[in-house]
Chains A and B, each alone.
Chain A
Amino acid sequence: MNKILSKKQLSDDVFLMRIEASNIAEERLPGQFIILQLDDDFGERIPLTIADADESEGSITIIFQVVGKTTTDLSKMNEGDSIANLVGPLGTPTHIDNFGTVICVGGGIGVAPMHPIAKAMKAAGNHVVIIMGARTKELIVLEEEMTAIADELIICTDDGSYGRKALVTEPLKELCERDPKPDMAIAIGPPIMMKFCAETTRPYGVFTQVSLNTIMVDGTGMCGGCRVNVGDEVKFVCVDGPEFDGHLVDFDNMMARLGAYRGQETNAHHKCNIDKQIEEKEKA
């Protein structure tokens, strides 16, 4: 159960995996995520968006970036290995409708969760403009998949090594200044990127949806660890989200809470880097 059917490395620290999960593949809708755990007793539970699913094959696709212990361990697993625990589909699905013109902004690995949403928006009859941004060419992923969906595709890199030399907020602003302006924008990526996308669209009154990636434990609404301030309400990202109105989200508090365990996480990660070095030594 939960066997890894295929594994692809998309960039230095970004991996794609197709995993056996027939129930999840059947029930999932764009915008939803899974939670996985690699060790039954001491493993950590982490959320990852479902980038795609194949109901006939009974599989889901996840795309993840190595950022800590669990993603490091996951990246070392191979085709044929099984993931100890995998649960989903969690979260409220994206509200898909024919809005008109939808701008999909994917920052870095954010294109992975953006993919099923952009696909569904296109299928619903929207004119879909996709903006993909990353620090450098090497970190641009899923270009082919996004090209297939987009009515217009804009790629930018911070260093200009590919596409336009710009942050995603630049083309986003230009699009907001069109007449007629877009009907909505969806921004998915690092919290700071989503925050600035929301600030970019705010003066133009373009509704902007963001997909939040807080720390989670259970993912089903029982602990409140993922809570965020949205307007003057408190919402749980795992059940009310992961998508919210970007103009109402308190990004500063959300980003602060993301760092709650930073000290401990660095230690855990350091341990495994040293382990890695010892491993290499023993291999030699």
Chain B
Amino acid sequence: MSHKSPEELKNSAATLLEEYLPQKDTMKAKARIGIPVQDMPSQDPMVRITNLEEVAVGYSEEQAKLEALRCTQCKKRPCIEACPVKIDIPSFIQHIADGEFQKSIDVIKKTSLLPAICGRVCPQEVQCQEPCTVSKSLKDVSKGVAIGRLERFVADWEQAQGNVKIPEVKPETGKKVAVVGAGPAGLVVAADIRREGHSVTIFEAFHKLGGVMRYGIPEFRLPNTIIDQEVNTLLSMGVEFRTNFVVGKTRKLEDLMKKDGFDAVFVGSGAGLPIFMGVEGENLIGVFSANEYLTRANLMRAYDREKADTPIYESKKVAVFGGGNVAMDAARMAKRLGAEEVYVVYRRTEVEMPARNEEIAHAKEEGIEFYFLQNAKRILGDEDGKVKGIECLRYELGEPDDSGRRRPVEIKGSEFTLDVDTAIVAIGNGSNPLIPQTTKDIDVNRWGNIVVDERQETSMSKVFAGGDIVLGAATVILAMGEGRRAAAAINEQLAQ
């Protein structure tokens, strides 16, 4: 598949738009569905592996308007229900078709506070775009209305205008709420609670804000400037941030309420616990959890070998174990850091991979090789204790397991050695154990996730939780949805 430049895509769209725009209010559904789905323009694969800039460069205005025309404005509107925060999707899309970008972003912001982020990282193909009438009609989710790309377009447009509206804050109530974690859940909770006039302080363990959006998701997928924009909005609203503050260590959670006077606490500490494979050789030099590799590269800026003091391992041949978005991020980052060969090793097949199709496609374009139905048996080291290879096994798919996916079954005697100097383990993350371990009254389930009721309240009165700490490693938008529910419950409680 040849790579089309942003310019080419813009010009094709402009041509079609000339024809369709005059009919925008009268076009029939069949004609709308007939408009080809607008591809996301992206940097050329061989160029982008040498830089950290965003791979997806965003729709041109022509593409956005044309894509917006594809929405049939169907009566059923299944997209709204499928959105974790119930954005009025058909409405914001109509505004784009009409060229009313400000009105469009206003519609989105009634319910979603992080559109520039969600437009980029939401798995729309399993959310709003999945039941989309156009997807169903064409029997292809990838050809449904490109809702995410449109959301990103108007979010970026608003930022580019330079006058992003700051949500209004009601008069001060004198109540204060502590938010643990400056990731997606925490940021959203802070915004919703601050709007009601309560004082909000976000406590963040790291020196930078954003949680997994900062340390985990690379610049080329989610630029730091986007996160900074969202944080600036909160600062303008009067939200306070305390970085380098580990709740549970720097201050016990109970003390935030008993000694520091907070009326409620929201825990959004995420799923940062790395899971290792448990194979021999996993502690050799050159084996990293995806968390470590990405935190060094992203948060600590180690991708800039010149400027950054934090080193990152110099790898020539890298094996990444796992099949999710984190595995894709680690592989693509390793490529950009100069690895000649990067292999993603996954024990099931491409069909079972949880990663977004877009990420897998981008990774393939960038020259990353995929080895399916394979997994590590043990990691081999040289006399200096460094990784020199990985003994792998081949698998075949058997009966489905708890996740509903077919369980990989070892093929005995199929051992072979993969010649690599680095292994990155990206097989999943568990909920951060710090708060449960230091707060005896908070209950967790057997996976370490904090247990909450339907209002997101934990077993501890006035303490709420949401996001990955409750769901296990999930997504930004689900964290947002949980955050909104928790904020609503906290606001309700504080109003009494």
- A257–B207 Cα gap in the complex (Å)? 25
Q: How many residues of A contact B (CB 8 A)?
A: 45
In the complex, which residues of chain A have a beta carbon less than 8 angstroms from the beta carbon of B325? none
In contact, A221 and B249 (Cβ under 8 angstroms): no
B168 at the interface (CB under 8 A from A): no
Fill in one digit per residue for B250-272: 1 if any A CB lies within 8 Å of its CB, else 0. 11100000000000000000001
A264 at the interface (CB under 8 A from B): yes
| A42-B307, A70-B309, A221-B433 given; A234·B276 CB < 8 A | yes
Scoring A87, A223, A253, A260 by chain B CB atoms within 10 A of each residue's CB, the highest score goes to A223
- A229–B304 Cα gap in the complex (Å)? 32
| Nearest chain B CB to A218 CB, angstrom units | 6
| Nearest chain B CB to A267 CB, angstrom units | 9
In the complex, which residues of chain B have a beta carbon less than 8 angstroms from the beta carbon of A224? 274, 276, 288-289, 291-292
- A217–B288 Cα gap in the complex (Å)? 12
B246 at the interface (CB under 8 A from A): yes
A145 at the interface (CB under 8 A from B): no
Chain A: CB-nearest residue to B212: A222
Q: How many residues of B contact A (CB 8 A)?
A: 41
In contact, B249 and A89 (Cβ under 8 angstroms): yes
In the complex, which residues of chain B have a beta carbon less than 8 angstroms from the beta carbon of A24? 250
Stretch of B14-22, B115-123, B293-301 with 4 or more beta carbons under 8 angstroms from chain A: B293-301
In contact, A86 and B273 (Cβ under 8 angstroms): no
In contact, A222 and B311 (Cβ under 8 angstroms): no
In contact, B246 and A268 (Cβ under 8 angstroms): no
In contact, A234 and B283 (Cβ under 8 angstroms): yes
- A220–B250 Cα gap in the complex (Å)? 12
In contact, A257 and B244 (Cβ under 8 angstroms): no
In contact, B311 and A257 (Cβ under 8 angstroms): no
In contact, B245 and A253 (Cβ under 8 angstroms): no
Fill in one digit per residue for B223-261: 1 if any A CB lies within 8 Å of its CB, else 0. 000000000000000000001111001111000000000
A115 at the interface (CB under 8 A from B): no
User: Could you tell me which residues of chain A, from 197 to 255, have a CB within 8 Å of some CB in chain B?
Assistant: 217-218, 220-225, 227-229, 234, 239, 250, 252-253
In contact, A89 and B250 (Cβ under 8 angstroms): yes
B384 at the interface (CB under 8 A from A): yes
In the complex, which residues of chain B have a beta carbon less than 8 angstroms from the beta carbon of A127? none
| Contact among B295, B301, B309 with A222 in the assembled complex (CB-CB below 8 Å) | B295
In contact, A87 and B310 (Cβ under 8 angstroms): no
| Nearest chain B CB to A111 CB, angstrom units | 25
Fill in one digit per residue for A42-72: 1 if any B CB lies within 8 Å of its CB, else 0. 1111000000000000000000000001100
| A24-B250, A218-B206 given; A257·B288 CB < 8 A | no
In contact, B296 and A229 (Cβ under 8 angstroms): no
- A173–B313 Cα gap in the complex (Å)? 40
Fill in one digit per residue for A260-284: 1 if any B CB lies within 8 Å of its CB, else 0. 1101110010000000000000000
A41 at the interface (CB under 8 A from B): yes
In the complex, which residues of chain A have a beta carbon less than 8 angstroms from the beta carbon of B283? 227-229, 234, 250, 253, 257
B385 at the interface (CB under 8 A from A): yes
Chain A: CB-nearest residue to B285: A260
Fill in one digit per residue for A23-42: 1 if any B CB lies within 8 Å of its CB, else 0. 11001000000000101111
Scoring A217, A222, A252 by chain B CB atoms within 10 A of each residue's CB, the highest score goes to A222
In contact, A256 and B385 (Cβ under 8 angstroms): yes
- A253–B433 Cα gap in the complex (Å)? 26
- A223–B309 Cα gap in the complex (Å)? 18
| A87-B244, A234-B283 given; A44·B295 CB < 8 A | no
| Nearest chain B CB to A249 CB, angstrom units | 12
In contact, B384 and A260 (Cβ under 8 angstroms): no
In contact, A256 and B432 (Cβ under 8 angstroms): no
In contact, B246 and A220 (Cβ under 8 angstroms): yes
- A40–B309 Cα gap in the complex (Å)? 11
| Nearest chain B CB to A148 CB, angstrom units | 29
A192 at the interface (CB under 8 A from B): no
Residues of A within 8 A of B (CB): 23-24, 27, 37, 39-45, 69-70, 84-90, 217-218, 220-225, 227-229, 234, 239, 250, 252-253, 256-257, 259-261, 263-265, 268
13 residue pairs A–B, Cβ–Cβ below 8 Å: A39-B309, A44-B309, A44-B310, A45-B300, A85-B243, A87-B246, A217-B296, A220-B432, A221-B433, A222-B291, A260-B286, A260-B313, A264-B311
Apart from A218-B206, A225-B289, A252-B385, 11 more pairs, CB < 8 Å: A23-B245, A42-B304, A89-B249, A217-B296, A217-B300, A222-B274, A224-B291, A225-B288, A229-B283, A234-B276, A256-B285
- Top 3 A-B residue pairs of the complex, sorted by shortest distance between their CB atoms: A222-B272, A256-B385, A223-B292
